[in-house]
Amino acid sequence: MAFGASGQACGAAYGRRAASGAGGDLGRALHAAAGNPALRGAEPGELWSPLWRLAHALSAKASYTPFIHAPRWRPSFASVAARRRAVEMIRSYPMSRFALMQGTLLLAAMLLGSVTAQAQPSVALEAVVFEVEGADLDAAFLSDLSAVLRDQALQHPRYALVSATPLQRAEVAVVVGCEPETTECLSQIADFVEARVLISGHVRREGDAFRLSVSIFDRDGDKGPVQVERRLAADDPVLRFRQQVERVFAELTPDERTRLSIRAAASADEIRIDGVMVGRGLVERDTLPPGTYQVEIHREGALPYTREVELKVGEPVSIEVPAALASETPAPREEAASTDPAIAVASSAPASTAMVAPPVPARQRSLLGAYSSLGVGVVALGGAGLMVGLMRGVEDDIAAEIAQGDISPARYNDLLRRGESYETAQWVLLGVGVGATALGVGWMLVSYAGDEPGLAFHVGPGSLALSGRF
């Protein structure tokens, strides 16, 4: 559509309004611009002008229609030039860039919440590292060793240091009023410094070398302090100390995995965990979450052998199935008090894995990611609602000033840019809100669906068995 005829009509309409007192020089300027031969045949993309849109609105209706609802000229994008002008127009609006940046940050926060929920690191224990002690040793040397011990504890994922102030264990024991070598005193010291774990070191000279002793005490543990001794060579003792401390922390880190070993009498016997076939003959697992599991051994021509076991952290469980499967499933009994060799709690971890089988799905699911997504969605939708309110305010301002007849092109241009910025922000936030809410709801539905009880049928000679997990 060319500018000429429509522009003349708009200018004429505004000129008529000017005669009635609704306009003035602006109408005559519009009429003159409409008759400009240079603007005849202009593309719609070139008509993206607040002045033109003001004339179009005034010529169409006696009262102003808010720009959000009125028909608007849009770039046709039929040419590269029109597309470039549209991109430059969007970039010229600060509020549009702010809205896009805000939407990007909301999406990043949502993804970060999901990744955090999936990772679920174990909670670090509050710990205090005391200064390394040693008789007849240089104070600077002991200070270097203390810095190494503190640095290694700080890097360890299991510990969270609660005090950056250097503390001497002997001095704290004097304040508490106890002997630091006793378990009761260490518990009092832990309460005094408000930490669960106490880490201390002692170094003494041994000929041309040094003897290192590292002690780690857990207030909530059922054992006393764990001590490990190492010999340090005389050459570069600080470096040797760092290497030995790394090994000590690796050795003293408690085993936080569960271990399950299932050995059937025949290599062809099928082993299932919670109804899922995981192998034959021998299966060992050390990645199952703590909890109760149903173990089944299936042999052709015999009833399945079933056993319910409870896996706990640091307590390996071993199951050995007798050569002759019973005609009926043995009744469950307490594992700790049982003398039957069919099931026993192992004292050490299994040596190796005999075969690789599909992993059993994890039984513990977190909804933190779903809640994070829903929270982001609610915030984004609230922001979209706020943008709508701001848009309505701009519409009211434009309508009021046009009704008064004193709006200028510069003022209208400023209000128009502000309203379009709010509109862009509204759509960005609305898209983020809907997407995040849908993701959170879907996450929750999938999580709850995965927790439904599982049933399994077992067919034997002349019998039918049904097992389930609830």
Q: Tell me, what's the pLDDT at 345?
A: 41
Asked whether residue 359 is domain-assigned, the answer is no
Return the percentage of the chain with pLDDT > 70, whole number: 58
Mean pLDDT of 277-299: 87
Mean pLDDT of 399-403: 83
Reduced to 3 states (helix: H, G, I; strand: E, B; else coil), residue 229 is strand
Range of lowest pLDDT (151-155, 363-367, 416-420): 363-367
Mean pLDDT of 62-85: 41
Count of alpha carbons within 13 angstroms of residue 79, beta-carbon side: 7
Q: 102 or 267, which is more confident?
A: 267
Name the most confidently modeled range: 3-17, 26-40, 51-65, 287-301: 287-301
pLDDT tops 60 at residue 74: no
Kindly indicate the confidence band of residue 12, based on its pLDDT and cuts at 50, 70 and 90: very low
Considering Cα of 344, then 348, then 349, then 350, what sign does the dihedral take? Answer: negative
Asked whether residue 353 is domain-assigned, the answer is no
Considering the domain architecture, whether residues 170 and 247 belong to the same structural domain is answered as: yes
Range of lowest pLDDT (176-180, 236-240, 283-287, 460-464): 460-464
Q: Are 317 and 346 in contact (CB under 8 A)?
A: yes
Considering the domain architecture, whether residues 272 and 207 belong to the same structural domain is answered as: no
Q: Tell me, what's the pLDDT at 70?
A: 38
Q: Select from 254, 255, 183 the least CA-distant residue to 219.
A: 183
pLDDT tops 70 at residue 32: no
Per the DSSP assignment, residues forming a β-bridge with 163 are none
Considering the domain architecture, whether residues 338 and 438 belong to the same structural domain is answered as: no
Kindly indicate the confidence band of residue 293, based on its pLDDT and cuts at 50, 70 and 90: very high
Kindly indicate the confidence band of residue 301, based on its pLDDT and cuts at 50, 70 and 90: confident
Mean pLDDT of 200-209: 85
Kindly indicate the confidence band of residue 160, based on its pLDDT and cuts at 50, 70 and 90: confident
Q: Select from 38, 12, 8 the least CA-distant residue to 23.
A: 12
Asked whether residue 352 is domain-assigned, the answer is no
pLDDT tops 80 at residue 124: no
Whole-angstrom CA distances from 461 to 299, 302, 328, 458 are 11, 7, 12, 10
Asked whether residue 428 is domain-assigned, the answer is yes
Considering the domain architecture, whether residues 270 and 320 belong to the same structural domain is answered as: yes
Among 206, 231, 252, the domain-final residue is 252
Considering the domain architecture, whether residues 149 and 113 belong to the same structural domain is answered as: no
- For β-strands 159-161 and 125-129, DSSP reports them as parallel
Sole residue written with tokens 């001095």:
171
Q: Tell me, what's the pLDDT at 84?
A: 53
Considering the domain architecture, whether residues 234 and 152 belong to the same structural domain is answered as: yes
Range of lowest pLDDT (186-200, 222-236, 410-424): 222-236
Asked whether residue 357 is domain-assigned, the answer is no
Q: 45 or 377, which is more confident?
A: 377
Give the gyration radius of the chain's Cα atoms: 38
Which helix (H) or strand (E) segment is 441 a member of?
helix 409-450
Considering the domain architecture, whether residues 73 and 180 belong to the same structural domain is answered as: no
Q: Name the residue range of residue 52's domain.
A: 3-91
Per-residue model confidence as pLDDT tens digits over 309-363: 998 887 889 988 877 654 444 444 444 444 444 444 444 444 433 333 444 444 4
Q: Tell me, what's the pLDDT at 22?
A: 43
Reduced to 3 states (helix: H, G, I; strand: E, B; else coil), residue 465 is strand
Considering the domain architecture, whether residues 457 and 420 belong to the same structural domain is answered as: yes
Kindly indicate the confidence band of residue 113, based on its pLDDT and cuts at 50, 70 and 90: low
Asked whether residue 350 is domain-assigned, the answer is no
Considering the domain architecture, whether residues 229 and 278 belong to the same structural domain is answered as: no
State the Cα–Cα distance between residues 253 and 125, nearest whole angstrom.
Answer: 12
Among 252, 270, 286, the domain-final residue is 252
Instruction: Tell me which amino acid residue 88 is.
Output: E
Per-residue model confidence as pLDDT tens digits over 375-384: 888 888 888 8
Asked whether residue 52 is domain-assigned, the answer is yes
- The number of domains in the chain is 4
Q: Tell me, what CATH number does 316's domain have?
A: 2.60.40
State the Cα–Cα distance between residues 165 and 128, nearest whole angstrom.
Answer: 10
Among 91, 110, 141, the domain-final residue is 91
Average pLDDT, the chain: 69
Mean pLDDT of 252-259: 68
Considering the domain architecture, whether residues 59 and 172 belong to the same structural domain is answered as: no
Kindly indicate the confidence band of residue 53, based on its pLDDT and cuts at 50, 70 and 90: very low
Considering the domain architecture, whether residues 386 and 298 belong to the same structural domain is answered as: no
Query: DSSP string of 60-114?
Result: H-SSPPPTTTS--------SHHHHHHHHHHHHT-HHHHHHHHHHHHHHHHHHHHH
Mean pLDDT of 377-399: 86
**Cross-sheet strand order for the sheet of 197-206:** 159-161, 125-129, 197-206, 209-218, 226-232
Range of lowest pLDDT (148-162, 289-303, 306-320, 439-453): 439-453
Considering the domain architecture, whether residues 137 and 239 belong to the same structural domain is answered as: yes
Asked whether residue 150 is domain-assigned, the answer is yes
Q: Tell me, what's the pLDDT at 332?
A: 46
Classify residue 133 by its DSSP letter.
B
